[in-house]
């Protein structure tokens, strides 16, 4: 168990995140931070008051500065503007980079030993921004993406086959966006290869829907983006770290030669434990999957270069 987890950003993602963490009781205190006075304090108090009903003792507090976050074991960055219909994650680049850079600087001062999980979009690039701004070791700064993307892929497969999501095993790698790489070769239904249930055209349709899963939700909401599934994904990651579970989960991790890719963040299978990303797991890929992963990495690198040109 952690002593303190901080969630930066008290919007839909951050507030839902704080609630999930409090109910999981993996930290003694959850601190919700936002720049708008009253919002984090009010939402935190509301969450805290649900404890007697839901049966958790986690203390939940809100703040507009980082004083109450000092010494956090884990910091989750959700701050940033959300997508609107028609926008890609990359459209948020400049604005959210400034926000994440500022937040990361505060985290560096208030919680120099923290592990940082980035949720803000465009996720892989924002994770890079956070690493650069904190100066933390790469194993302590990584992004939520693969767990969410994999959950969406599993959901769509289960819906199509009319089976339990519990029986769908899958793995989605690559950048969090249109270039993500669902690994069909590792996708099974209770151990049975997906290709024994569906033809390639049907599988391709599920892959396409997975890649556009976030945009599908944005189109419905009109204002804002997904928050229930993203917060669940981070909660699973946070639990693995806080309880040192050594879970193998796909995360946006800093690549140092794995899969032949270096100096970029990319979604890959990671062993998560008390030290953050303790190992990047390399799995065998088909030629098409390897090419798709390299293409995804190049997209992330080009977006980082675009950000650098913007200053």
Residue 32 zone, left/alpha/beta (φ > 0; ψ -120 to 50; rest): beta
278 CB burial (10 A radius; 0-12, 13-18, 19+) = middle
- Contact indicator for 28, 58 with CB cutoff of 8 Å: yes
- Contact indicator for 140, 146 with CB cutoff of 8 Å: no
Active-site choice (89, 176, 211, 271): 176
Whole-angstrom distance between the N-terminal and C-terminal Cα of the chain? 40
- The CA distance from 310 to 27, in Å, is 39
176 in active site: yes
- The CA distance from 238 to 248, in Å, is 13
Considering only CA atoms, which of 228, 222, 216 is closest in space to residue 84? 222
Residues 6+ apart with CB under 8 A from 302: none
- The CA distance from 119 to 117, in Å, is 7
Task: Name the 3-class secondary structure at 62.
Answer: strand
Three-class SS of 150-210: HHHHHHHHHHHHCCCHHHEECCEEECCCCCCEECHHHCEECCEEHHHCCCHHHHHHHHHHH
Rg of the chain in Å (alpha carbons): 19
Considering only CA atoms, which of 87, 131, 83 is closest in space to residue 230? 83
- Contact indicator for 77, 130 with CB cutoff of 8 Å: yes
Q: Which residues are part of the catalytic machinery?
A: 176
């Amino acid at each position: 168990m952690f002593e303190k987890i901080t969630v930066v950003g008290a919007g839909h993602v951050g507030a839902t995140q704080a609630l999930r963490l409090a109910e999981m009781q993996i930290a003694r205190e959850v601190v919700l931070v936002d720049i708008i006075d009253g919002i984090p304090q009010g939402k935190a108090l509301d969450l805290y008051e649900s404890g007697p009903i839901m049966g958790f003792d986690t203390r939940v507090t809100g703040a507009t500065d980082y004083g109450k976050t000092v010494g956090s074991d884990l910091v989750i960055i959700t701050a940033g503007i959300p997508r609107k219909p028609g926008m890609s994650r990359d459209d948020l680049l400049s604005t959210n980079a400034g926000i994440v850079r500022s937040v990361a600087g505060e985290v560096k001062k208030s919680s120099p030993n923290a592990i940082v999980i980035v949720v803000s979009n465009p996720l892989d690039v924002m994770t890079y921004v956070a690493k650069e701004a904190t100066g933390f070791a790469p194993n302590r700064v990584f992004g939520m993406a693969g767990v969410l993307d994999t959950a969406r892929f599993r959901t769509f497969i289960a819906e199509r086959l009319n089976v339990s999501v519990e029986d769908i095993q899958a793995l989605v790698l690559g950048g969090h966006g249109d270039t993500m790489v669902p690994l069909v070769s590792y996708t099974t239904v209770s151990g049975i290869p997906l290709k024994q249930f569906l033809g390639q055209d049907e599988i391709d349709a599920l892959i396409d829907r997975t890649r556009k899963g976030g945009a599908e939700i944005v189109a419905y909401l009109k204002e804002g983006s997904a928050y229930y599934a993203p917060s669940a994904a981070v909660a699973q990651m946070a639990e693995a770290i806080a309880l040192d579970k050594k879970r193998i989960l796909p995360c946006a991790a800093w690549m140092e030669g794995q899969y032949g890719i270096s100096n970029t963040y990319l979604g890959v299978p990671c062993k998560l434990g008390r030290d953050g990303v303790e190992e990047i797991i390399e799995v065998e890929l088909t030629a098409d999957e390897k090419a798709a992963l390299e293409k995804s990495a190049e997209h992330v690198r080009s977006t980082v270069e675009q950000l650098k040109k913007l200053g």
